[in-house]
Structure 1
Amino acid sequence: MPTAPPTLHVHPDRLLPPEPHLRDIARRLYDAVRHLPIISPHGHVDAAVLADDLPFDDPASLLVSPDHYVTRLLHAQGVPLSELGVGAGRLDEQQARRAWRHLCTHWAAFRGTAARYWLECQLHEIFGVTTRPSAETADDIYDIVAARLAEDTFRPRALFGQFGIEVLATTDDPCADLGAHATLEADPQWGGRVIPTFRPDRHLEPARPGWGQAVTELGEAAGIDTGDYAGYLAALEARRAHFIEHGATSSDHSHLDVRAESLGTREAARLYAAALAGTATPAEATAFRRHMTMEMARMSVEDGLVMTLHPAVRRNHHAPTSARFGSDTGHDIPVRAEFTRALQPLLERYGTHPNLQLVLFTTDESVYSRELAPLAGFYPSVFVGAPWWFLDAPEAIHRFRSAVTETAGFTRTSGFIDDTRAFCSIPVRHDMSRRLDSGWLARLVADHRLAEDEALETITELVSVNPRRAFRL
């Protein structure tokens, strides 16, 4: 008689402290916030998904191909990215099933990872899957998820409402026309809030391949000649204004470092001209990019966009993969970060200005207690961004609270950000954060460092107040 496959089950007390007295406190805190609306101020879901509201194509295109947490670890197991649908566009059923089988066949590779936790919660809580993924169960699970995706209640807008998303921020190039955002704004049937985020990286780095073309496109989008430095600045300012008109509240910056230096207008104009002519040295290109970090802060002071920085990631670490599949395909690797000296010129100039708001993220845990918490503990403009990318995992989030709270408290942190392209992972990631923070606060209550009513107020603020405050939502 055949043996039934192992079941897939998510425990109602998952991620809460195992000690009974702590768990009871954590349960009460979590129950107070578990159904609060989701505020997602930084992510990468395409607004067109919601504007068009078309059914999702297949399980693999939804849960595998766009999620670099998933594809990078499968690649590490020897599965080619081409087998997972990365960079392939729309998949036919054979391709989608093949990608899905790879996920299920290598399910054990995800044990202990945050990606495993997110996937389990999505499969069980959103799609009703009760069988553990494996090579033997792959096709059956695929059929269950595919059948759900064919239902109207699983279309993007319906899920947006079911997930309880109040605000969803996208990440957009300055040249984007934001047509999908405009469609949503104008649709009387749409009651959600989807806002763009200004992401100018490729227009600020002369050392990047294609920078000259990017600057030309910037000018065309703004209707301003970017042939000189003054026009370039004016074009950036015009596009920021366009984003603000469509609801943007922040600009997003990810360079190798966060060093900010002011060159002065004459020297900046000289370097800009040299970069356009292709004669700028690597050192000059870096100096110009660091100058533009200062200029972005200046623009934020003037127009009110929150400035978020998440540096120190070596993008496209594997050149052959980048050449074949493009960027954001799982091979970006963190490097060491430094903030204190790097940001001192910017903070001396703007750090106490009431219009500046700066959210600092990192993938380098060593700077939490040494640099980020002390900066946020002094400068009214600085917030410490929640654990992001490689650190948005249970144990790393606990380490974040340990490293930051004693110096900066809770109010100087951003609230959780999901930073995801995988739409269905949004609710499970936010739920994970709520569970972990409930457990962390429960320990403060049990240690008699915080009264339970204060812990309740704090967990509510972490979910509903901090992200609004940090991102001016």
Structure 2
Amino acid sequence: MTAPRRDPARLLPADPSTRAVAAELYERVAESPIISPHGHVPPSLLLRDEPYADPVSLLVAGDHYVTRMLHAGGVDLADLVVDALAGRDARTVWRRLAANWHRFAGTASGYWIEEELDGVFGITTALGPDTADAVFDEIAAALVRPEFRPRALFERFGIEFLATTDDPLDDLAAHALLATSDLPGRVAPTFRPDRYLDPDAVEFADNVERLLSATCRPGDFAGYLSALEERRAHFIGHGAVSTDHGVEELFTCDVDAGEGERLFRAVVAGTASAAERRAFRGHMLVQMARMSVDDGLVMTIHPGVLRNHSSATYARFGADTGHDIPVATEFTRGIRPLLEKYGLERDFHLVLFAIDESTYSRELAPLAGFYPSVYLGAPWWFLDAPDAIARHRAAVTETAGFYRSSGFIDDTRAFLSIPARHDTARRVDAGFLARLVVEGRVRMDAAERIIDDLVDAIPREVFKL
């Protein structure tokens, strides 16, 4: 069955008069370059520029948006891994996706994959059990062509800036090589130090020892902080503009040097209580803010996720396999010690993300509506979907406006979904602005400036590009 090409007015408001305004606003930014200040595409993908092996490696493998939905429908995660010894080739895995495609109706991941099939490959055949092989073959035939290699797609997608997420001890050699290549856009690393800051992280003490050894620093708290500062400088030297921190609880606290030393020795020795480990995590967020004030890196925090919720799944497949689950998050009290110390610093930029929608209007918008350092992170992870993006705008705009937001953040490992995700945000923002115009709340010329700034000037300002 062949479906018509996708509706050019998809995601725009249903009301004809509002849709007309939205379409006009969307057209202003539809082809604008993509600025992606936070994501998880590995730099090696662009450095090696190797053809994708098959449709599964392109659209299924490693994309936990997709695999978790299939798992919820009864598919074993092992059956989504190409394994010749187990008799699972890529076509077999693809057929499993196609057999379960009805489960993706109405989901963001289903929408993005359909956008990719049509927008990238020109495939309008509706995916399903009867069409699985035909769609597989059409994608596979395209992947052998040079215009479907990662670098060619990077240029085709119009990516002007792409941030990766990197371990503090990464030598960043791939980034150095990309910086001197002919890639028509900038790829920058992001400093992600969670495993060196969280006493509950796997092999925390060993990670700290590796950090100290790599930087030839002494094993006290001052040496530990100096080691982190040195690695941040290494990242800045390779083009980094931000740090990223993923915490389950947003809790910060400031302690004096003596207490910091005591907590550090306890967490490294493995003798710290739960309260002491919490205090250390909270203090290290404050230390990260201090370092951002000193070196200029934008600080982003992604709180409110209980990682590896399924112990059995973690034991079989490891982290980042779809079983990280959101938890309720409190911002106002938790972030106050950090903001008491650095919230009014002129050049400090702090971007706060949330998966708990109840915090948008109650806490995040008021915080960003007062502190010059605080910006509202875009809807993230489970909320980077059309309706959730619209709810976010409705919840925060009346208090914080548009210019206290970060611009859209795709936060993706799935390279091909980057343009689809940014296009989604542009369409939803155009629809939201169009309603304000039609209701007489914003003038059309102001809406035109805002839609332009949302995809360009705002992310450039927030991430100091």
- Equivalent pair of 2:245/2:301 in contact (CA under 8 Å): yes
What SS does the aligned partner of 1:390 have?
A: helix
Does 2:286 match 1:294?
A: yes
Q: 1:347 to 1:17 in 2, by over 3 A?
A: same
The alpha-carbon deviation at position 89 of structure 1 amounts to 9.1
1:288-316 per-position Cα deviation (integer Å, ceiling 9, x unaligned)? 11110100000000000000011010000
Give the whole-Å Cα distance in 1 for the aligned partners of 2:27 and 2:300. Answer: 31
What SS does the aligned partner of 2:415 have?
A: coil
Give the whole-Å Cα distance in 1 for the aligned partners of 2:268 and 2:26. Answer: 54
Q: 1:90 to 1:298 in 2, by over 3 A?
A: farther
Q: Counterpart of 2:443 in structure 1: which amino acid?
A: A
Does 2:127 match 1:133?
A: yes
Return 250-259 or 277-286, whichever deviates more. 277-286
Give the equivalent residue in structure 1 for 2:53.
57
Match of 2:64 among 61, 68, 71: 68
Give the whole-Å Cα distance in 1 for the aligned partners of 2:86 and 2:37. Answer: 33
Give the equivalent residue in structure 1 for 2:437.
445
Does 2:133 match 1:147?
A: no
The alpha-carbon deviation at position 355 of structure 1 amounts to 2.2
Match of 1:202 among 195, 202, 205: 195
Give the whole-Å Cα distance in 1 for the aligned partners of 2:338 and 2:159. Answer: 34
The alpha-carbon deviation at position 219 of structure 1 amounts to 2.2
Q: Show the 5 A alignment for 1:378-389.
A: 378-389=370-381
Q: Show the 5 A alignment for 1:201-240.
A: 201-221=194-214, 223-225=215-217, 227-240=219-232
Does 2:46 match 1:34?
A: no
Give the whole-Å Cα distance in 1 for the aligned partners of 2:144 and 2:422. Answer: 26
Return 410-419 or 126-135, whichever deviates more. 126-135
Q: Show the 5 A alignment for 1:201-350.
A: 201-221=194-214, 223-225=215-217, 227-350=219-342
Match of 2:404 among 393, 412, 417: 412
1:86-140 per-position Cα deviation (integer Å, ceiling 9, x unaligned)? xx79999943222211111111101111111101000111012121111111111
- Equivalent pair of 2:160/2:184 in contact (CA under 8 Å): no
The alpha-carbon deviation at position 386 of structure 1 amounts to 0.6
Runs of 5+ unmatched residues, structure 2: none
Q: Show the 5 A alignment for 1:368-447.
A: 368-447=360-439
- Equivalent pair of 1:215/1:226 in contact (CA under 8 Å): no
The alpha-carbon deviation at position 276 of structure 1 amounts to 1.8
Q: Counterpart of 1:207 in structure 2: which amino acid?
A: D
1:145-181 per-position Cα deviation (integer Å, ceiling 9, x unaligned)? 1111110000000000000000000001101111110
- Equivalent pair of 1:8/1:120 in contact (CA under 8 Å): no
Give the whole-Å Cα distance in 2 for the aligned partners of 1:227 and 1:271. Answer: 13
- Equivalent pair of 2:292/2:348 in contact (CA under 8 Å): yes
1:15-41 per-position Cα deviation (integer Å, ceiling 9, x unaligned)? 001111011101110011101000000
- Equivalent pair of 2:94/2:132 in contact (CA under 8 Å): yes
1:407-428 per-position Cα deviation (integer Å, ceiling 9, x unaligned)? 0000000000100000000001
Q: Counterpart of 1:317 in structure 2: which amino acid?
A: H
Give the whole-Å Cα distance in 2 for the aligned partners of 1:327 and 1:24. Answer: 45
- Equivalent pair of 2:83/2:89 in contact (CA under 8 Å): no
Return 290-299 or 227-236, whichever deviates more. 227-236
Q: Given the two structures, how large is their TM-score scaled by the length of structure 2? A: 0.98
Does 2:104 match 1:110?
A: yes
Q: Counterpart of 1:348 in structure 2: which amino acid?
A: E
Match of 1:15 among 7, 11, 15: 11
1:337-390 per-position Cα deviation (integer Å, ceiling 9, x unaligned)? 111011111111111101210000000000000000000000000000010010
Give the whole-Å Cα distance in 2 for the aligned partners of 1:61 and 1:287. Answer: 42
Give the equivalent residue in structure 1 for 2:116.
122
The alpha-carbon deviation at position 209 of structure 1 amounts to 2.3
Give the whole-Å Cα distance in 2 for the aligned partners of 1:182 and 1:125. Answer: 31
Give the whole-Å Cα distance in 2 for the aligned partners of 1:294 and 1:96. Answer: 47
Give the equivalent residue in structure 2 for 1:159.
153
Q: Given the two structures, how large is their TM-score scaled by the length of structure 1? A: 0.96
Number of residue equivalences? 465
Cα root mean square deviation, aligned: 1.5
Give the whole-Å Cα distance in 1 for the aligned partners of 2:462 and 2:187. Answer: 17
Give the whole-Å Cα distance in 2 for the aligned partners of 1:469 and 1:400. Answer: 20
Does 2:39 match 1:46?
A: no
Q: 1:33 to 1:91 in 2, by over 3 A?
A: farther
Give the whole-Å Cα distance in 2 for the aligned partners of 1:307 and 1:8. Answer: 44
What SS does the aligned partner of 1:293 have?
A: helix
Q: 1:51 to 1:90 in 2, by over 3 A?
A: farther
Identity %: 57
Give the whole-Å Cα distance in 2 for the aligned partners of 1:91 and 1:128. Answer: 34
Give the whole-Å Cα distance in 1 for the aligned partners of 2:395 and 2:66. Answer: 28
What SS does the aligned partner of 1:410 have?
A: coil
Return 89-98 or 14-23, whichever deviates more. 89-98
